[in-house]
Amino acid sequence: MIDLHCHLDLYPDPAAVIARCVERKTYVLSITTVPKAYRHTHRLALGAGRIRTALGLHPQLAATRTSEMGLFEELLPSTSFVGEIGLDGSYEHRSTLSVQRAVFQDIMDLCGRAGGKTISIHSRAAVNEVLQTIAPYASSCRLVLHWFVGTPRQVARAAEMGCWFSVGPAMLTSARGRASVAAMPPSRILPESDGPFGSLDGEALNPWDAWLMVAQLADLWNKQEDEVGRAMFQNFRSLLTFDTAA
């Protein structure tokens, strides 16, 4: 199983969730929302060879955490994974967009100079601006658009840039989400849960629940579940390799 976007440190009992991930042999990209959370979140998964921790500064927190940008720069060489970063233009957060833009641009510049980073990107109500910002870095970093709900034209633009898409069960319950996924290249899609924020039928999704999207995709694509599951693992191997080092 694979979960390319999950907030392990924000579950009520992260240790229990991590133990289940190990038991189920689930590959997880553990996303952080602020730089100060990175070291603790990384320690949580020490010894769990299929879990990697990303260094993030969530756009919804950017305005109150700009002081942590120095720490972000300090920590960046210690990980190949960055996230969650991006822009959020929703009603609740559009008032901080100017700060969000500055933080997002600074992070992308740092990642571009470092090279080789896999980056999980938030683009709620800011799709065009996010795509414009990340375009110059498509050749130096692996760009993964998290819960990306765009028009077919926006999806095509992202795909032409070489972007990947992490898609979860919750996203596939909406007509807009399914329409976006239908426009995505099948070879660029990977599972995500966005747990514990992502939910299904009122229940928070766990990392292994990301795999529920395989059945949903099989229905959307009119394919067999085992065929879609194999495709997800092939996509995962194409994007990156999780070695077994702690």
37-79 pLDDT, tens digit each: 999 999 999 989 899 999 999 999 999 999 999 999 999 999 9
d(CA 194, CA 166): 9
d(CA 31, CA 18): 13
In a domain, 245, yes or no: no
Residue 118 has pLDDT above 60, yes or no: yes
Q: Provide the pLDDT for residue 49.
A: 86
Question: For residue 232, what are the contacts with CB-CB under 8 A and spacing of at least 6?
Answer: 2, 189, 190, 191, 214
Is residue 83 a contact partner of residue 29, using CB atoms and an 8 Å limit? yes
In a domain, 244, yes or no: no
Residue 19 has pLDDT above 80, yes or no: yes
Residue 86 sits in a domain of what CATH number? Answer: 3.20.20.140
Q: Provide the pLDDT for residue 160.
A: 96
In a domain, 246, yes or no: no
Average pLDDT, the chain: 94
Query: Can you name the residues that pair with 165 across neighbouring β-strands?
Result: 145, 189
82-111 pLDDT, tens digit each: 999 999 999 999 999 999 999 999 999 999
Q: Looking at the 3D structure of the chain, how many domains does it have?
A: 1
Q: Once rounded to an integer, what is the mean pLDDT over residues 218-224?
A: 96
What DSSP string runs through 46-68? TT-TTEEE-B---GGGGGG-GGG
In a domain, 230, yes or no: yes
Q: Provide the pLDDT for residue 245.
A: 34
Q: Provide the pLDDT for residue 240.
A: 77
- Torsion angle of C-alpha atoms 94, 98, 104, 109, degrees rounded to 10: 160
In a domain, 57, yes or no: yes
Split at pLDDT 50, 70, 90, the class of 241 is: low
Domain extent at residue 89: 2-239
E runs forming strands in the chain: 2-6, 27-30, 51-53, 81-86, 118-122, 142-146, 164-167, 189-191, 199-200, 203-204
In a domain, 83, yes or no: yes
In a domain, 201, yes or no: yes
122-166 pLDDT, tens digit each: 999 999 999 999 999 999 999 999 999 999 999 999 999 999 999
Residue 242 has pLDDT above 90, yes or no: no
Q: Once rounded to an integer, what is the mean pLDDT over residues 103-121?
A: 97
